[in-house]
Structure formats: structure tokens, C-alpha cells
Structure 1
Amino acid sequence: MRNFKRAIIAVFLLLLVLVILAFVLENQQSVSLLFLGWVSPALPLSLVLVLTLLMGMTIGPVLGWFVRRPRAQRKRALAQDLIHE
């Protein structure tokens, strides 16, 4: 059973690598972005998309942490008030 799970994971990873490779090979045309007056150098579309994906995967959790943090502080303060009453 353990070998079967490893084989399934290996097949899944191989398919993922093949899909990523196909994506990169299909999106080689160069693009230049203009944003608020800043012009990016001409990069392959696949690289631009992967970089924006990675930025979103980084920025999203950080913003979520900043939103949840005040809520957690209010919950702790409320819990402390309930304990002391």
C-alpha cells in the first residue's frame, strides 16, 4: 500500500511537471507591462504569469494575517474580560 501511494504521488508530480513545461513552452512570446508609469522589461508571458502568481501567493496570506490579527486581539481581550468577571 505504501508503494502504491508513492507511485501515485510520483505520477501526479510527473503530470504536474509536464503541464508546467507545456505551459512555459506555449507562452514564450515577450510582453512588456505598463503600470502607473513603470514599464517592465520585455519578459516571456509565462515568466510574468508565474511571477504574479508567486507574488499573489505571498501577499495574500500576509494581508489575511493583518486582517485576522486585530480580530484575534479582540477575542483575547473579550476572553480576559469574561475570566475576570
Structure 2
Amino acid sequence: MRNIRRVILAIFVLLLVLAILVFVLENQQSVSLLFLGGAAPELPLSVVAMTALLVGMIIGPLILWFAGANSQRRRK
């Protein structure tokens, strides 16, 4: 049973890596972002998308953590 779980996990990880690799290889067009008058250097679209994903994965839990801390203070 334990071996089956390892095989399924390994297949899942390999499929995830393959999907990321395909995404990166298919999105090599250079883009430049403009925000509040400032321009970022031209980077491949895949780098911009992955960076936005990672920043969102960090900021989202932080917002929930701060909201939870505020609600706990209100209860006391």
C-alpha cells in the first residue's frame, strides 16, 4: 500500500513538473510591464506569470493571518 502511494505521488510530481516545463517553453515571448509610470525590464512571459503566482501565494496567507489576528483581538 505504501509503495502505491509513492508511485502515485511520483507520477503526480512528474506531471506537475512536465506541465510547468511546457508552460515555460510555450511562453518565451518577452513582455515589459508598466506600473504607475515605472517600466520593468523585458522578461519572458513565463517568468512574469510565475513571479505573480509566487507573490500571490505569499501575500494571500499573510492577509489571512493578519485578518485572523485582528479578529482574535476583537474577541478579547
Same fold (TM over 0.5): yes
* Cα RMSD after superposing both structures: 0.8
Residues 3-40 of structure 1 show CA distances to partners (whole Å, capped at 9, x for unaligned) of 11100000111111110000000000000000001100
Partner of 1:68: 68
Q: How does 1:50-69 map to 2 (within 5 A)?
A: 50-69=50-69
Compare CA radii of gyration and give the structure with the larger one: 1
Percent same amino acid at aligned positions?
A: 59
Question: 1:1-85 residue pairs with structure 2 within 5 A?
Answer: 1-75=1-75, 77=76
Between 1:9-18 and 1:65-74, the stretch displaced more is: 65-74
Count of aligned pairs between the two proteins: 76
Distance in 2 (alpha carbons) for counterparts of 1:64 and 1:2: 35
Runs of 4+ aligned structure 1 residues displaced above 3 Å come to none
Mapped to 2, the partners of 1:43 and 1:54 lie a distance apart of: 16
Q: TM-score, normalised by structure 2?
A: 0.94
Which residue identity does 1:18 align to in structure 2?
L
Deviation at 1:49, TM superposition (A): 0.2
**Cα distance per residue 1:35-76 (max 9 Å; x no partner):** 00110000000000000011111111111222221111122x
Letter of the 1:24 counterpart: V
Question: Which residue type is aligned with residue 70 of structure 1?
Answer: N
**If the length of structure 1 is used for normalisation, what is the TM-score?**
0.85
5+ residue gaps, structure 2: none
